[in-house]
Amino acid sequence: MAHTVIVEIDNGKVTVTARGVKGKTCTDITASIEKSLGTTSADSKTGEYYQKSDEKLKVTR
Amino acid sequence: MSHVATIELEIRDLACLIEAAKECGLEFLENQQSYRWYGVSVGDYPLPTGFRKSDLGKCDHALRVKNGNGSTYEIGVCARRDGKPGFTLLWDFWQGGYGLQAAVGTDGNKLKDAYAAAVATKELKRKGYRVQRTKNEAGKIILTATGGR
């Protein structure tokens, strides 16, 4: 699945974000990057995380 | 975006630390067993876990400002003593370390940020990503990785 990983580094603070992936795949993608950098102190999941990877979004007009 | 992870940075990759040091204008002094500092601790800051006052000034390697003068303080690169792998960086920032802080930033954040960028880039490339590095006006480093496996 095409996706983008964004790493933001600012004054000793690092955040890693995966975009374009749904569900647990997201954490699988970023896990090794997080581990190489240190210890994950906070992990917030967004709505996209809770969507199934094969789920289609319905748009109602 | 599906999740955002915030990470407490740990120094584990010596090669990436050397790369980050170069970026900040420092040179790596392999196996240098001491680093330049004031020489006496007045106990105004807590020491890292496992370190005692008598350990200050001693190190496994050191980092030195390339264009510093004879009094510019240095950074001690010491094996961690809390049972975890990696390194603790020790330095004295009294009077800005006489030029050291200008190179590595307040609290060493410029060096830490360069280290984090080097580690993340290395890991992302290992996973097959193309990595683009940018810096915004506020100094934040942003790595954008695409095309990974």
How many domains would you assign to chain B? Answer: 1
**CB of B120 within 8 Å of any CB in chain A?**
yes
What helix, strand, coil percent values describe chain A, rounded to 5?
30, 35, 35
- Nearest CB neighbour to A43, from listed B3, B123, B148: B3
* Assigned token pair, B129: 């990503």
Using CA atoms, how far apart are residues B75 and B36, in angstroms rounded to an integer?
8
- Nearest CB neighbour to B116, from listed A14, A27, A43: A14
CB pairs under 8 A between A and B: 139
For residue A5, what is the nearest residue in chain B, using CA coordinates?
B145
| pLDDT value of position A56 | 43
DSSP single-letter state for residue B45: S
CB–CB contact A41 B127 (8 Å)? no
For residue A31, what is the nearest residue in chain B, using CA coordinates?
B5
Task: Give the domain ranges of chain A.
Answer: 4-50
ipTM value > 0.85 = yes
Return per-residue pLDDT of chain A as tens, 61 residues.
688 999 999 998 899 988 888 777 777 788 889 899 998 877 776 665 556 554 444 444 4
**CB of A42 within 8 Å of any CB in chain B?**
yes
| pLDDT value of position B142 | 98
| pLDDT value of position B3 | 67
The amino acid sitting at B22 is K
Q: Name the strands in the sheet holding B87-90, side by side, starting at the edge strand that comes first in the sequence.
A: B26-29, B61-65, B75-79, B87-90
Mind giving me the DSSP string for B84-147?
SSSEEEE---GGGGGGHHHHH-GGGHHHHHHHHHHHHHHHHHHTT-EEEEEE-TT--EEEEEES
Q: Render pLDDT for B1-36 as a digit per residue (tens, 0 to 9).
A: 556 788 888 999 999 999 999 999 999 999 999 999
Is it the case that residue B41 has pLDDT exceeding 90? no
| pLDDT value of position A47 | 62
Most confident of B27-36, B44-53, B65-74: B27-36
**Domain carrying residue B97:** 14-146
In a domain, B3, yes or no: no
Asked if residues B64 and B29 have their Cβ atoms less than 8 Å apart, the reply is yes
Read off the pTM: 0.88
